[in-house]
């Protein structure tokens, strides 16, 4: 039986990053993967969707070439070529992870891994043992009882990335990051898209101002949006699909070629041996302490299978912290109040910390500043004036409580707020830090100036 210091079950952005950090720290490490190195994120999630979205963005630029003084008389899309480019990008990233495994001398064990008592993992009949086992098996598309996925007319995100024909009409159920990104992609490519959201606002975890701005932008681009709405039944017996949608006004039947179910995720914790080992699970999540140890010594869990936010960068951070603790390094528990979230539609969304509503509900006396990109020279020059930066500060101490952005490129700007909050930066500090002009990022400084009644450009 092969013996390791650490075996990681699952090779997504949680698993493979954990394995690399473990190897860097001198642990003899193996990783178990049943499908493709890189997991869902690299192969079916974060990376290939961004490739699709880039193609959609370029197509949008071609449509609006005249706005930039350019004449493009003939252009078209090749839907299958767009999908193929996305798959090629994913394949390249997966090969990159293979290289990293070899570079860091990590053994890759291909097959379906199942936990066993006594700190062992069975992979298709062969047993491996380790001093520590880290579960990083991730999650998949969640299915609702009234919206079962058949992979053809009612699909999840995996099928949405590899359709052989572009649908003329699509219903997207759910308006979290996955639903919104695919709604943008298909609408930009020419599909008639309807979003059905159960809650009163799309992207419901975001600040309400951001939700309202995205709804305006999406409606302007032709997306039909139904909020406070629920798909109650689906009929796939005909050529397309019919969805009965319940709203405050009554019931409405929508017809489409395909329904994309984007109603969240389901953790991959079935049939991996949790019951055999005695690991405690609560509400579809493996319970862990601040350093990701389960109730059974020697078994750890990170990423989507644990109660934290189901985000790739969170899984990576958790895995690194977990193995650094195992190496007896001084580590501090992750600050889950300072986790950035990004949605890569157009306009992009990025946020961290408290929303204005959450801050007020906590009874905090706050200062709120908002700077619209319509007043930004860089945004005007780029033809991307939709959106804004919004900041929230504690009025008494100047603590940066939250930052919410919607606009072009904001997913590349949010790290300023994350780092600022990590370093306990005050509003005054941000205001006096010189931001380059003209840039989109100077809107952060301008928003802070607005919070303190010192704004110049609005």
Catalytic residues: 437
Does residue 134 have a known ligand-binding role? Answer: no
Does residue 50 have a known ligand-binding role? Answer: yes
CA dihedral 359, 363, 368, 372 (to 10 degrees): 40
β pairing state of 169-173 and 192-196: parallel
Does residue 66 have a known ligand-binding role? Answer: no
Does residue 178 have a known ligand-binding role? Answer: yes
* 143-155 burial: b if 16+ Cβ within 10 Å, else e: ebeebebeeebbb
Does residue 181 have a known ligand-binding role? Answer: yes
Q: Tell me the C-alpha distance between 326 and 339, whole Å.
A: 23
Does residue 349 have a known ligand-binding role? Answer: no
Does residue 264 have a known ligand-binding role? Answer: yes
Does residue 176 have a known ligand-binding role? Answer: yes
Does residue 180 have a known ligand-binding role? Answer: yes
Does residue 39 have a known ligand-binding role? Answer: no
Does residue 177 have a known ligand-binding role? Answer: yes
Residue stretches of the annotated binding site for FAD: 50, 113, 304
Give the residue ranges of the annotated binding site for NAD(+). Answer: 174-181, 197, 264
Question: Which residue numbers belong to the known binding site?
Answer: 50, 113, 174-181, 197, 264, 304
């Amino acid at each position: 039986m092969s013996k390791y210091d650490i075996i990681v079950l699952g090779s997504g952005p949680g698993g493979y990053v954990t394995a690399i950090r473990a190897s860097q720290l001198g642990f003899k490490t193996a990783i178990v993967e049943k499908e493709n190195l890189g997991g869902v994120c690299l192969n079916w999630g974060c990376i290939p969707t961004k490739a699709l979205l880039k193609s959609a963005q370029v197509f949008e630029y071609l449509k609006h070439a005249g706005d930039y003084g350019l004449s493009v008389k003939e252009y078209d899309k090749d839907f299958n070529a767009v999908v193929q480019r996305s798959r090629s990008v994913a394949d390249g990233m997966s090969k990159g992870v293979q290289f990293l495994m070899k570079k860091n001398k990590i053994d890759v064990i291909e097959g379906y891994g199942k936990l066993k008592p006594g700190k062992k993992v069975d992979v298709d009949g062969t047993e491996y043992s380790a001093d520590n086992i880290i579960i990083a098996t991730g999650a998949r598309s969640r299915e609702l009882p009234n919206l079962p996925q058949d992979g053809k007319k009612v699909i999840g995100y995996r099928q949405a990335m590899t359709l052989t024909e572009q649908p003329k009409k699509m219903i997207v159920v759910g308006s979290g990051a996955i639903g919104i990104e695919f709604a943008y992609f298909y609408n930009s490519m020419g599909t008639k898209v309807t979003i059905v959201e159960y809650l009163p606002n799309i992207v419901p975890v975001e600040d309400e101002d951001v939700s309202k701005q995205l709804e305006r932008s999406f409606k302007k681009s032709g997306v039909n949006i139904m909020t406070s709405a629920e798909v109650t039944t689906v009929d796939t017996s005909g050529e397309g699909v019919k969805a009965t949608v319940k709203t405050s006004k009554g019931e409405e039947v929508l017809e489409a070629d395909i329904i994309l179910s984007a109603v969240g995720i389901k953790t991959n914790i079935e049939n991996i041996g949790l019951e055999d080992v005695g690991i405690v699970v609560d509400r579809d999540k493996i319970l862990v302490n601040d350093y990701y140890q389960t109730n059974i010594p020697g078994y750890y869990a990170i990423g989507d299978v644990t109660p934290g936010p189901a985000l790739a960068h969170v899984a990576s951070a958790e895995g690194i912290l977990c193995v650094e603790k195992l190496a007896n390094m001084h580590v501090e528990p992750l600050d889950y109040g300072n986790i950035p979230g990004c949605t890569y539609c157009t306009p992009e969304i990025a946020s961290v910390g408290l929303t204005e509503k959450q801050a007020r509900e906590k009874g905090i006396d706050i200062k709120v500043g908002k700077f619209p990109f319509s007043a930004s020279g860089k945004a005007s020059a780029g033809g991307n004036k939709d959106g804004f930066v919004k900041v929230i500060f504690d009025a008494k101490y100047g603590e940066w409580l939250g930052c919410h952005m919607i606009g072009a490129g904001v997913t590349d700007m949010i790290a300023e707020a994350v780092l600022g909050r990590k370093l306990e930066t005050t509003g005054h500090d941000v205001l006096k830090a010189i931001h380059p002009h003209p840039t989109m990022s100077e809107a952060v400084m301008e928003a802070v100036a607005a919070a303190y009644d010192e704004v110049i450009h609005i």
